[in-house]
């Protein structure tokens, strides 16, 4: 085997090996553990950059062997997988930095960082999976490795949330397994392929294909938090802030959305999905989830729960984009996979900073926090404006592209949904921004801590600022090569003309 075959394996192994090393390290080995964490994250980022460049030039990265009779374990890197892998690699690095600061002096850090790395290894596997079977393998590994993170605090409430999380995700996993096994029975082992497999499918298997599609989307929709399968997400907010950040930006919800993208583009094929008539209902469901999540967010009093419902809404932008038949809309959906990740992680980092530094968990305690923590509040404001879709930030690019795609696909109602959703986003984010900057503080903060010169611990201070800058940059420079938008257009080009 050549080096090209091994690169995806190495990228997967970096976080897997890091996890094993961290489990083996003693609880007190603080410096060594941080070094292993950051080192592995940097190595992985390097490998991903190499592969991105390779995929851009058309190099094939892939390895596969027969695992169970009739099915292969396959890893491969195409343009779509690199998009998810880049997101995972970049945000892993930042979240690790953040988590090191966040969990300072708390117990069970060895366990936390071990499972954290396992979780990232799973997302890498999801990105690089070459067929549905391999995808499922890492999809379930993700479920298992996030559970200890969700219940990390060991309180009754956390354990209860963990149980809800498991009931939802394991049931979703079982449905997904049924769908994959059924599809395997109908058509055999199907590798992910640009253009999909079913454009010439016989008419007599159309019904099975539609049923399998429904099961696949139901199984994946649990993690993507599609209405009505979103119930676990707001509850899982008891997890520590870096976990929520990772869950919302990269790991769990994105894995579900990414899976739906894979199914539509690389298993069924966009044209076959359109012919089968499954895209339109999914688009309606996504549109409804967008509005539903925003409406529920309006009435939340806890900041993290508000962000959770905002995620429910935002992830469905991706699904909606996938369902718009036509290259422009598809690019809009795919680019949101990255944009939403960057913006949402900013907001969660900020929420964590408010909680750790000032003890703020509720929105009505946030009055005047902008004066005490200007850096964090600036990042929060940029993230919130991005979510609303203020030009020229990342969210604007998404919404603009989606809108153009909807017009091109003759689905004018999507424009109305986009406008309405943006208004709702503004309705729940702007009051918070107003509170931050223009209200007087209530007196004392709920639980204030001080760290030297900066407004908060340096490990917590820089990551949100950095992701806020990224939110601006990917918006302003959207037309440059290797920007998320250009990459999404590259993917779409390859999907529509395989």
Partner 1 sequence: MTLWLMAGLLFTPLAWAVLTLLTDFARGRLVTWGGILVQVLVSLGLWLTVARDGGFYYGLGGWDAPLGIELRVDGLAVTFVLLTAVVASACGWHAGIYIDPDKPWHRYFWPLFWFLWSGLNAVWLGDDLFNLYVGLELISLSAVGLVALGGKASALRASLRYLLAALLGSLAYLLGVALMYGQFGTLSIAGIASWLTEHPVPAGSGLALALMIAGLALKTALFPLHQWLPPAHGIAKSPVSALLSALVVKASFYIAARLWLELGEPLGNLVSAQLVGLLGSAAVVWGSWLACRQLQLKQVVAYSSVAQIGYLFLLFPLTYSVSESVSLQAQQGITLQVISHALAKAAMFLAAGNLILSVGSSRVDALAGVSRFLPFSLFSFGLAGVSLMSLPPSGGFAAKWLLLQASLESGQWWWVLVLLVGGLLSAAYVFRIFRASFLESPESDQFYHPARSLEVIPMILALLALGLGLVSEQVLSVMALPFEVEGSP
Least distance in angstroms from the C-beta of 157 to partner 1? 12
Does 68 bind partner 1 (CB under 8 A)? Our answer is yes
Least distance in angstroms from the C-beta of 98 to partner 1? 23
Closer Cβ to partner 1, 135 or 487, answer by number: 135
C-alpha triplet 397, 403, 409: angle, nearest 5° = 135
Question: Which residues 293-352 are close enough to bind partner 1 by CB under 8 A?
Answer: none
Whether the Cβ atoms of residue 130 and residue 192 lie closer than 8 Å to each other: yes
Binding mask 182-201 for partner 1 (x = CB under 8 A): x-xx----------------
Least distance in angstroms from the C-beta of 338 to partner 1? 27
Q: How many residues bind partner 1 (CB under 8 A)?
A: 39
Does 110 bind partner 1 (CB under 8 A)? Our answer is yes
CA dihedral of residues 229, 291, 396, 479 (deg, nearest 10):
50
Beta-carbon contacts of 284 under 8 Å, excluding residues fewer than 6 positions away, are none
SS3 368: coil
167-171 long-range contacts, CB within 8 A, separation 24+ = 167/232, 168/222, 168/229, 168/231, 168/232, 169/143, 169/222, 169/223, 169/232, 169/252, 170/143, 171/222
Whether the Cβ atoms of residue 242 and residue 98 lie closer than 8 Å to each other: yes
Looking at 142-150, 364-372, 398-406, 431-439, which segment touches partner 1 (CB under 8 A)? 142-150
Least distance in angstroms from the C-beta of 391 to partner 1? 44
Binding mask 145-184 for partner 1 (x = CB under 8 A): --xx--x-xxxx--x--xx--x---xx-xxx-xx--xx-x
Any idea what DSSP says for residue 263?
A: I
Beta-carbon contacts of 222 under 8 Å, excluding residues fewer than 6 positions away, are 168, 169, 171, 172, 175, 229, 232, 256
Q: How far is residue 193's CA from residue 62's CA, in Å, rounded to a whole number?
A: 13
Least distance in angstroms from the C-beta of 381 to partner 1? 36
Least distance in angstroms from the C-beta of 124 to partner 1? 15
Closer Cβ to partner 1, 115 or 349, answer by number: 115
Question: Which residues 90-109 are close enough to bind partner 1 by CB under 8 A?
Answer: 107-108
Q: How far is residue 54's CA from residue 78's CA, in Å, rounded to a whole number?
A: 10
Closest CA to 485 of 395, 384, 390: 395
Q: Got the DSSP string for 305-339?
A: HHHHHHHHHHHHHHHHHHHS-SHHHHHHHHHHHHH
Does 119 bind partner 1 (CB under 8 A)? Our answer is no
For partner 1, the binding residue among 18, 47, 82, 141 (CB under 8 A) is 141
Closer Cβ to partner 1, 163 or 193, answer by number: 163
CA atoms within 13 A on the CB side of 94: 26
Binding mask 47-66 for partner 1 (x = CB under 8 A): -------------------x
Least distance in angstroms from the C-beta of 495 to partner 1? 27
Contact set with partner 1 (CB under 8 A): 23, 66-71, 73, 107-108, 110-111, 136-137, 140-141, 144, 147-148, 151, 153-156, 159, 162-163, 166, 170-171, 173-175, 177-178, 181-182, 184-185
């Amino acid at each position: 085997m050549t080096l090209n075959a091994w690169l995806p394996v190495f990228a997967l192994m970096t976080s897997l090996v890091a996890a094993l090393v961290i489990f083996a390290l003693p609880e007190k080995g603080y410096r060594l553990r941080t070094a292993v964490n950051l080192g592995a994250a940097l190595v992985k980022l390097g490998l991903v950059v190499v592969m991105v460049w390779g995929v851009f030039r058309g190099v094939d990265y892939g390895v596969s062997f027969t695992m169970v009779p009739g099915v292969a374990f396959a890893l491969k890197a195409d343009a779509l997988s690199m998009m998810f892998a880049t997101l995972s690699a970049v945000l892993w690095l930042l979240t690790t930095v953040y988590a090191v600061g966040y969990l300072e002096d708390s117990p069970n850090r060895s366990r936390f960082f071990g499972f954290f790395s396992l979780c990232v290894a799973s997302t890498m596997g999801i990105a690089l999976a070459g067929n549905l079977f391999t995808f499922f393998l890492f999809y379930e590994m993700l479920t298992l490795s996030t559970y200890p993170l969700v219940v990390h605090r060991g309180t009754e409430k956390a354990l209860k949330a963990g149980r809800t999380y498991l009931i939802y995700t394991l049931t979703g996993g079982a449905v997904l397994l049924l769908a994959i096994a059924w599809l395997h029975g109908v058509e055999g082992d199907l590798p992910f392929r640009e253009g999909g497999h079913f454009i010439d499918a016989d008419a007599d298997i159309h019904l099975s294909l539609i049923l399998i599609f429904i099961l696949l989307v139901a199984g994946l929709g649990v993690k993507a938090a599609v209405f009505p399968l979103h119930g676990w997400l707001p509850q899982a907010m008891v997890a520590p802030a870096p976990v929520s950040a990772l869950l919302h930006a990269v790991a769990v919800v994105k894995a579900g959305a990414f899976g739906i993208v894979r199914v539509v583009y690389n298993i069924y094929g966009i044209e076959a999905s359109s012919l089968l008539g499954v895209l339109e209902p999914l688009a309606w469901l996504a549109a409804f989830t967008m509005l539903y999540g925003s409406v529920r967010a309006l009435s939340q009093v806890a900041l993290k729960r508000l962000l959770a419902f905002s995620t429910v809404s935002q992830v469905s932008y991706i699904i909606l984009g996938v369902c718009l038949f036509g290259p422009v809309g598809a690019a809009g959906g795919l680019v949101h996979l990255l944009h939403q990740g960057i913006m949402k992680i900013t907001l969660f980092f900020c929420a964590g900073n408010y909680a750790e530094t000032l003890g703020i968990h509720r929105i009505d305690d946030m009055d005047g926090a902008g004066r005490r923590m200007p850096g964090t509040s600036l990042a929060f404001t940029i993230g919130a404006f991005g979510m609303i879709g203020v030009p020229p930030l990342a969210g604007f690019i998404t919404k603009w592209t989606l809108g153009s795609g909807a017009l091109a696909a003759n689905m004018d109602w999507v424009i109305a949904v986009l406008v309405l959703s943006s208004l709702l986003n503004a309705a729940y984010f702007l009051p918070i921004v107003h509170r931050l900057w223009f209200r007087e503080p209530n007196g004392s903060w709920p639980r204030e801590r001080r760290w030297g010169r900066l407004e908060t611990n340096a490990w917590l201070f820089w990551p949100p600022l950095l992701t806020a800058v990224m939110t601006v940059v990917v918006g302003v420079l959207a037309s440059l090569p290797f920007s998320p938008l250009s990459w999404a257009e590259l993917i779409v080009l390859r999907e529509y003309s395989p």
